[in-house]
Structure 1
Amino acid sequence: MATFLSKLGRFAFRRRRFVALIWVALLAVAGVGAATSASPAADSFSVPGTEAQRAFDLLDQRFPGGNADGATARVVFRAPQGETMKDPANKAAVERTVHALKSGSGQVDRVADPYAARTLSKDARTAYAQVTYKVTGFELTDASKDALKDAAKDARKDGLTVEVGGNALQAIPETGSTEVIGIAVSAVVLVLTFGALIAAGLPLLTALIGVGIGVSTITALSSALDLSSTTSTLAMMIGLAVGIDYALFIVSRYRAELTEGREREEAAGRAVGTAGSAVVFAGLTVVIALVGLMVVNIPMLTKMGLAAAGTVVIAVLIALTLIPALLGFAGKRVLPRKARATKGADGQGTTSAAGRPNMGTRWARFVLRRPVTVLLAVVLGLGAVAIPAASLELGLPDDGAQPTHTTQRKAYDLLSDGFGPGFNGPLMLVVDARDAHQGQSAKSAAAQVAKKVHALDDVAVLTPPTFNKAGDTATLTVVPKSKPSSAATEDLVHDIRSTTAGIATDTGARTLVTGTTAMNVDVSQKLNDALVPYLALVVGLAFLLLMVVFRSVLVPLKAALGFLLSVVAALGAVVAVFQWGWLADLFGVEQTGPIMSMMPIFMVGVVFGLAMDYEVFLVTRMREAFVHGERPGEAVVTGFRHGARVVTAAAVIMISVFAGFIGSSDSMIKMIGFGLAVAVFFDAFLVRMALVPAVLALLGRAAWWLPRWLQRILPQVDVEGEGLRDEPTGAPDASTSRTPARV
């Protein structure tokens, strides 16, 4: 592999104008596609194979024309203290608002009058009007949203408290200025690491080009493939982080080759052949982890993983081709001025043979002297941080998770106060009697279901059944006594399903439970069931990949165990901040609550891929030194001498990029940004920089042990650049000459 990549790097270096032109053309094509694409579709969420999803699909078939995908708004009215919504003045104000809602926009499908629909609370102080639109939330025009806001504002002038819930006022998430701050921090770190503006600018430039191509392509395909707005944000987040890191490692190796006296083209070839091999395998682990999310069989999660994986592939290709091309334009200006003037100076800031040991060398020797102490400190420290993960509560976000100052959250609270805590999370029962036994009808089956369900605990309200035109399907609405995210409501879902299963056996009419709360229960169960197979698939494939890279059994095993430690600790930190509220103000968390259901398995996938990045980059240098004759302890020191500073810079950059998304207005993006930033911090600085050398010190030569039968089976991959080692320094490149070079 190293030989092939070296040739690729040399080709890109020689044909730099052609290579650069191709990437610029790809960026332009993707940009045009994004600019001319249709508006993004509304964020859709489906979970195939669950009862809640089967019920939704059945409703679409049996109750056509329901406009289930249309945006909705719930305008909630609260009368002043001492008054009710039945008072003539308040009733007149509501009727004027309903009329304004009906005539305010051509996109309105229907508006349910609170008095006709009887949507008044028992004390008559609270009422709500349900507004249904013909289009999705993202397709609503500004005029329609303004009409909704103006209608609520006019009702407030009459002395009523009026708030608006639902998804009609949803907006595309904004990341805020912290994203720019993250990129600025990355630029500062690169300048400090390289000491040259040109070298610092190359990783940023190539990462932005890669992200531009990836995100523009996602935007262009968003309508056709039903990609959510979160998909492009996630791709941007991961693409920026890995794009900068991959370019950083190749530029660093190129500078090291230059300072050893090699010619520029040869240095570019060797950099791509050695560091590029690590980039390829690191990128493969990330892609495996992201593509592996398909096994969960949640379309939204699958699309997010595939889109992010595509952006990672682009980052790898750019690092292998565009970076050597731009190095050809930059010349030796990638080195600091002193290094250009002093032949053989160390452009990386490591040390020459006669110089003083650098920080990486001193740290590695410290760990080698006290491996047991360092190992125990890391394991106990991360174990303590992981404790909150035992209290993890999962859920799907609704208006109750919105910040308390928003009108959506105020409407949610008004409905809870007026109609009970379970009103915001009703359950829908779908009774399908099409295949019922002889003599059984939908009416009789629905009556039996209603009788059994009404007798269950935690049922506050059970509405009469509603039938479709064919008369073979009925729907009933159950309002729990408890709030949607409570354990009592989850138990009620299971109780209803258990109870109605017996009715299905007797009558042949099946009953399905759906609704947001039921979907939440099903999603959590599906994710829990998929976690072990997903871990087995991803960790197993990556384990085999790392065995090929390191020619070892224990090193990949150590890498996997270290990852589990860091990801559980990161989940503990997420629970402490977003669920318990620790340091919530510091991170801008306005509302605590259950953790997004997809968060654990998503973090497992993404963090595993990123964790293996640093394992590959750091340990391949140790493996290279060991293969070339150094003792195990010396190889660890050599790996840290050459790689510690660059890995540290790469980790700081990745942390700053992820942390930049904590300022997002979307709670899921905020949570993902925080979780990934904390996970990279734990994994890079505690696991890879401390636990790894401690374990290698304790294992010694056994760390690189591989059974002979495995040596024969595993393919030989030249990651260490052994095939490039025999090339003479400064020798002409045979590919640039018509006759072979002779030495």
Structure 2
Amino acid sequence: MIRFRWPVIAGVVALLGVMAIPAADMNLGIPSGATANQDTAARQSYEAVSQGFGEGFNGPLLVTAEPTDTAGGVTPELTAKLIGEFQDRDDIVLAAPVGVNEAGDLAVFSVIPTSGPSDEATRDLVKSLREPDNAIAQNNQVQLGVTGFTAIGIDMSDKLASVLPLYLGIIIVLSVLILLLVFRSVIVPIKATAGFLLSILATFGATTAVFQWGWLSGLFGVDTGGPLMSFMPIMVTGILYGLAMDYEVFLVSSMREAHIHGQEARQSVVHGFDQASRVVVAAAIIMISVFSGFIFSHDVMIKQIGFALAVGILIDAFIVRLTLVPALMAVFGERAWWLPRWLDRLLPDLDIEGDKLLAMLNQQPEATDRDKIEVRT
């Protein structure tokens, strides 16, 4: 890896970059009966309803209508007009009244879309009905709201997707700061965090390709592609970040210790890799084995989490930490441990290797036999 460091770096970055491409098409949602395996009761029930009534009957929407003119209330004429306008839309099959509250100022309707609960058309319908300037609301002076299991799933997916970049940003900032304190280097924290970003994007890409696009899906027991579980990216990112930084600290701390104790930069990379790589390999194999066991579950949500974690650890441990990191450390050489003097003065010295403690102990006068006995006891 050190001898062929430039081809290794280019190859790893290209490989993970290609693996990350499907992540741009990642669609988050709540898996439904449409994404379950064909031999399950959930999938068979879903298809029976779809064939008998239409896909939209698997995910009805509850639509509330509240008149903006409080004096008018919900009259039978307004209810009938709203039902007619709902059913005039091309993306709605059926609308039926559920009831009106005792005050008469709020009506609830059951609205059946033409599309299934996981389809993009249903998401567009929910957003359209919620817009305050949509035609139905304007024509009838009402304020429409949309709820129900399908709408809640759409809201949750959109919210989690919108906060994912912020979540990753916080992780990046904290990662750089913490590793800056631990390793007292500018290059090492940036390299470690960039490697994690490559790992997580490649993981999302591979998961999207298998569970959404259907690539190699038969190998993992997946019949039908569908959206990825909405909270899977945040969960997987947190777990993989913790494991990735464990592997990074195991590996690079050994390199830093060898360098501090006098070894030349590239030689310290070889020595540190030789000392810590076995630990990283053993830890990664254990975690991959554990999470791989969930891939062949009958529940597609468990499958997705198990696959993403197993593939993510495989990528980060073996491709990033054990391949890319040593090659980059060899390229930077002595510069990998560079820290500006002004920043060195500002940062607290955690003395991870304990060198200052050893130096302080060596400067103290030799203890008497009696002192040694007291210390041992």
The answer as to 2:281 corresponding to 1:669 is no
The answer as to 2:1 corresponding to 1:373 is no
Name the structure 2 match of 1:479: 112
AA of the residue aligned to 1:385 = M
* Match of residue 556, structure 1, among 180, 189, 205: 189
Residue 368 of structure 1 aligns to a residue in which SS? coil
AA of the residue aligned to 1:603 = V
TM-score by length of 1: 0.47
Name the structure 2 match of 1:695: 328
AA of the residue aligned to 2:257 = E
**Residues of 2 paired with 1:533 and 1:540: CA distance?**
11
The answer as to 2:75 corresponding to 1:440 is no
Is the 1:446–1:465 Cα contact (8 Å) retained in structure 2?
no
Is the 1:386–1:569 Cα contact (8 Å) retained in structure 2?
yes
* Match of residue 609, structure 1, among 239, 242, 245: 242
Residue 294 of structure 2 aligns to a residue in which SS? helix
**Residues of 2 paired with 1:589 and 1:523: CA distance?**
24
Q: Which has the higher contact order (CA 8 A, sep 6+)?
A: 2
* Match of residue 19, structure 2, among 361, 385, 388: 385
Is 480-489 or 413-422 further displaced after alignment?
Answer: 480-489
Distance 1:504 1:418, change over 3 A: closer
Is the 2:132–2:143 Cα contact (8 Å) retained in structure 1?
no
> 5 Å matches for 1:230-241?
none
Name the structure 2 match of 1:415: 49
**1:645 shift after superposition:** 1.7
Name the structure 2 match of 1:592: 225
AA of the residue aligned to 2:97 = P
**1:401 shift after superposition:** 2.6
Residue 203 of structure 2 aligns to a residue in which SS? helix
Name the structure 2 match of 1:710: 343
Deviation digits for residues 33-58 of structure 1 (CA, Å, limit 9, x no counterpart): xxxxxxxxxxxxxxxxxxxxxxxxxx
Name the structure 2 match of 1:641: 274
Residue 561 of structure 1 aligns to a residue in which SS? helix
Name the structure 2 match of 1:459: 92
> 5 Å matches for 1:217-366?
none
**Residues of 2 paired with 1:714 and 1:448: CA distance?**
69
Residue 663 of structure 1 aligns to a residue in which SS? coil
Deviation digits for residues 557-610 of structure 1 (CA, Å, limit 9, x no counterpart): 111111111111111211222223333333233443221111222222221221
Name the structure 1 match of 2:293: 660
**1:416 shift after superposition:** 0.3
Distance 1:721 1:401, change over 3 A: same
Distance 1:618 1:462, change over 3 A: same
**Residues of 1 paired with 2:106 and 2:2: CA distance?**
71
Distance 1:503 1:445, change over 3 A: farther
Q: Which structure 2 residue ranges, 5 or more long, are not aligned? A: none
Distance 1:448 1:650, change over 3 A: same
Deviation digits for residues 268-298 of structure 1 (CA, Å, limit 9, x no counterpart): xxxxxxxxxxxxxxxxxxxxxxxxxxxxxxx
AA of the residue aligned to 2:283 = A
Q: Which structure 1 residue ranges, 5 or more long, are not aligned? A: 1-366
* Match of residue 532, structure 1, among 165, 168, 193: 165
Is the 1:664–1:670 Cα contact (8 Å) retained in structure 2?
yes
**Residues of 2 paired with 1:723 and 1:667: CA distance?**
53
**1:501 shift after superposition:** 5.6
TM-score by length of 2: 0.89
**1:525 shift after superposition:** 1.6
Is the 1:449–1:500 Cα contact (8 Å) retained in structure 2?
no
Residue 180 of structure 2 aligns to a residue in which SS? helix
Residue 463 of structure 1 aligns to a residue in which SS? strand
State the number of aligned residues: 369
Residue 126 of structure 2 aligns to a residue in which SS? helix
AA of the residue aligned to 2:73 = S
**Residues of 2 paired with 1:523 and 1:451: CA distance?**
30
AA of the residue aligned to 2:74 = A
The answer as to 2:374 corresponding to 1:739 is yes
Distance 1:418 1:544, change over 3 A: same
AA of the residue aligned to 2:26 = L
Residue 586 of structure 1 aligns to a residue in which SS? helix
- Root-mean-square deviation (CA, aligned residues, Å) is 2.6
AA of the residue aligned to 1:635 = S
**1:373 shift after superposition:** 0.4
Is the 2:49–2:58 Cα contact (8 Å) retained in structure 1?
yes
AA of the residue aligned to 1:402 = A
Question: Where do 4+ consecutive residues of structure 1 move more than 4 Å?
Answer: 444-449, 499-509, 723-728
